[in-house]
Amino acid sequence: MKPEAASALFAGPFALATLSAPGGPAFPALVTPDGRALDLRVAFGSEELTARDLLDAWDTAIARLAALADDNGLDRRPLADFRVHAPVEPRQVFQSGANYRQHVIDLHVAHRDPADGRTPEEARAEAAEIMDRRAAEDLPYVFIGLPSAITGPYDDVVLPAWAEKPDWELELAVVIGRPAHRVPVERALDHVAGYTIANDLTDRATVFRRDMPQIGTDWLRSKNAPGFTPLGPWIVPATSVGEPDDLRLTLALNGETMQDESTKDMIFDVARMVSYASQSARLLPGDLVLTGSPAGNGMHWGRFLRDDDVMDGAITGLGAQRTRCVAEATS
């Protein structure tokens, strides 16, 4: 699929993308809001240049990108001439669970034991108390995803034959621009290059191990099938996004809005998520920190992804992605 024509594709004067011409290799590109692209291999004089190379040197690269965006004499081509890939190939993907207050409360009620005699209101009150305690104790829930699950923002998503309840999860994705290890909350945003859109698909039927419930969650099985993380279309620099903790996320399924929430509903904001992940791991340029998904997933609606479904996801200032679901062919 191709990006839709728009008067402004994203906030700010430029964004970083990864594109390819028909039959050609992928390359990093500077994209402007009018829907035109500049091949950065030419601008930087390197045929082997990647988006991650630019993120590895983000402090100097962003100044060069800003200057290129201001130069109207450069050869820019319409985005429609290219395929849009995921904007970066990260080394590591840090995923967040249970980070939107309303979403977690909804799931708490939906997953309660059928023998639970409490009313839905009582269960919601318990969930709200748990969320307040987590926020006070500063304990985000972060786990590891696989880069191999990432696909482009307009690519088809293959639904594995074994996935009984594939679900959507639109998320704000943080792109790291400076190495981060044990950084305090107050300095965490200094390590962020920009933001993009992720749809962190999950097979709800395999989230919990049925053979041994004591083990708990199985994120490998439920979240990491090839193509289960549509990413992009571009990385919008943090300086253009402004306040990341007040962005609107919307996801429509076949034209019907299913998710519509602000990042204000996050229990742990972007700075706290980045800081928390860095306490255990060393975050590297190009790495992703997915910040969790708001209310309105298929689990909430009792409706999961099927063959030929089309998902349209958007976040304020970051553009939009469109992916079509395709059932895996079986013999």
> Taking CA 145 as the corner, what is the angle to CA 137 and CA 314, rounded to the nearest 5 degrees?
85
> What's the pLDDT tens digit per position in 82-122?
999 999 999 999 999 889 987 777 777 766 667 777 787 88
Return the domain boundaries, the chain: 15-84, 93-327
245 or 139, which is more confident? 245
Q: Give the per-residue pLDDT at 5.
A: 43
The fraction of the chain above a pLDDT of 70, given in percent, is: 95
Rg (CA), the chain: 20
The fraction of the chain above a pLDDT of 90, given in percent, is: 78
Tell the residue number behind the tokens 């786990």, with chain if given: 143
Q: Which of 51-55, 104-108, 302-306 has the weakest average pLDDT? A: 104-108
> What's the pLDDT tens digit per position in 166-222?
999 999 999 999 999 999 999 999 999 999 999 999 999 999 888 888 888 899 999
Q: Give the per-residue pLDDT at 72.
A: 86
> What's the pLDDT tens digit per position in 250-281?
999 999 999 999 999 999 999 999 999 999 99
CATH of 93-327 among 3.40.630.30, 3.90.850.10, 3.30.70.20, 3.30.750.24: 3.90.850.10
- Cα pseudo-dihedral 296, 87, 61, 269, rounded to 10: 20
Helix segments in the chain, DSSP class H: 40-44, 51-56, 58-70, 101-110, 120-137, 185-188, 219-223, 238-241, 270-280, 298-301
Q: Which two tokens stand for residue 262?
A: 């602000």
Q: Give the per-residue pLDDT at 204.
A: 94
Is the model's pLDDT at 73 over the cut of 60?
A: yes
Query: Residue 237: helix, strand or coil by DSSP?
Result: strand
Q: Give the per-residue pLDDT at 167.
A: 97
Is the model's pLDDT at 138 over the cut of 90?
A: no
Q: Give the per-residue pLDDT at 142.
A: 95
Q: What is the mean pLDDT of the chain?
A: 92
Is the model's pLDDT at 4 over the cut of 60?
A: no
Q: Which two tokens stand for residue 137?
A: 């104790």
Q: Give the per-residue pLDDT at 3.
A: 54
Q: Give the per-residue pLDDT at 122.
A: 83
- Cα–Cα distances (Å) from 249 to 165, 228, 264, in that order, read 22, 19, 11
Q: Give the per-residue pLDDT at 7.
A: 45
